[in-house]
Amino acid sequence: MSKTMKELSNLNDEGLQGKLAELQKELMKDYAQVATGTIPKNPGQIRRSKRTIARILTILNQRRKQKTKA
């Protein structure tokens, strides 16, 4: 498990939802910057944001499945 996954799994559901919303806004800004033809400051940021969003959604879905089983 990567360091990012460990950090994210320690957050509660509300913290994860907040982080998810923050990353989605950031990703939208990055996409808008690319669409206008501006060169992003950090080209790898889009990829990292997308991966972190996927990690958060994975953790939330795993927790949701555990709650329904219990």
Per residue in 2-43, pLDDT (tens digit) is 678 888 889 999 999 999 999 999 999 999 999 999 888 888
CA separation, residue 10 to residues 16, 18, 31 (Å):
9, 14, 29
Q: Which residues, at least 6 apart from 9, have a Cβ–Cβ distance to it below 8 Å? A: 1, 59
* Pair of tokens at residue 10: 């320690």
The reported pTM is 0.88
CATH number of the domain residue 22 falls in = 1.10.287.310
Query: Containing domain of residue 24, as a range?
Result: 3-69
As for how many domains the chain has, the answer is 1
Return the number of other C-beta atoms located less than 10 Å from residue 44's C-beta.
8
